[in-house]
Chains A and B, each alone.
Chain A
Amino acid sequence: MSTALKEWPLWEVFVRSKQGLEHKHCGSLHAADAAQALDMARDVYTRRQEGVSIWVVESKAITASNPDDKGELFDPAADKIYRHPTFYEIPEEVGHM
Chain B
Amino acid sequence: MSAATDYLLHLADNALVLGQRNAEWCGHGPILEEDIALANVSLDLIGQARLLYQLVATLKGGDCTEDKLAYFRDTHEFRNYTLLELPHRGPLSGYAQGDLDYSTTIVRNFLYSALMALLWEALEKSANADLAAIAAKSQKEVRYHLRHARDWLVRFGDGTDESHARAQASLDHLFAYTQEFWAHSPAEAAAIEAGIGVDVRTLQADWDAIVDAALAEATLVRPAVGGYVTLGKQGIHSEHLGFLLAEMQSLARAHPNGAW
Contact = CB atoms under 8 A, between A and B. Distances in A.
Q: State if A and B touch, Cβ cutoff 8 Å.
A: yes
Given A1-B161, A8-B31, A32-B155, A39 B36 contact: no
B166 to A, nearest CB: 13
Contacts, number: 30
Contacts of B33: 29-31, 40, 43-44
Contacts of B148: 39
B36 A44 contact: yes
Nearest to B147: A39
B37 A39 contact: yes
A36 B159 CA distance: 14
Interface string A62-90: 00000000000000000000000000000
Nearest to B152: A36
Interface residues of A, number: 13
Contact of B151 (A1, A8, A35, A47): A35
A43 B141 CA distance: 12
Which of A1, A32, A39, A43 lies at the interface centre, i.e. has the most chain B CB atoms within 10 A of its CB? A43
B160 interface: yes
Nearest to A47: B40
B160 A36 contact: no
24 contacts: A1-B159, A1-B161, A1-B162, A8-B31, A30-B32, A30-B33, A31-B33, A32-B155, A35-B151, A36-B151, A39-B37, A39-B147, A39-B151, A40-B33, A40-B34, A40-B37, A43-B33, A43-B37, A43-B40, A44-B33, A44-B36, A44-B37, A47-B36, A47-B40
Interface of A: 1, 8, 29-32, 35-36, 39-40, 43-44, 47
Q: Which 8 A-B pairs have the closest CB atoms?
A: A43-B37, A1-B160, A40-B33, A43-B36, A43-B40, A44-B36, A29-B33, A1-B161
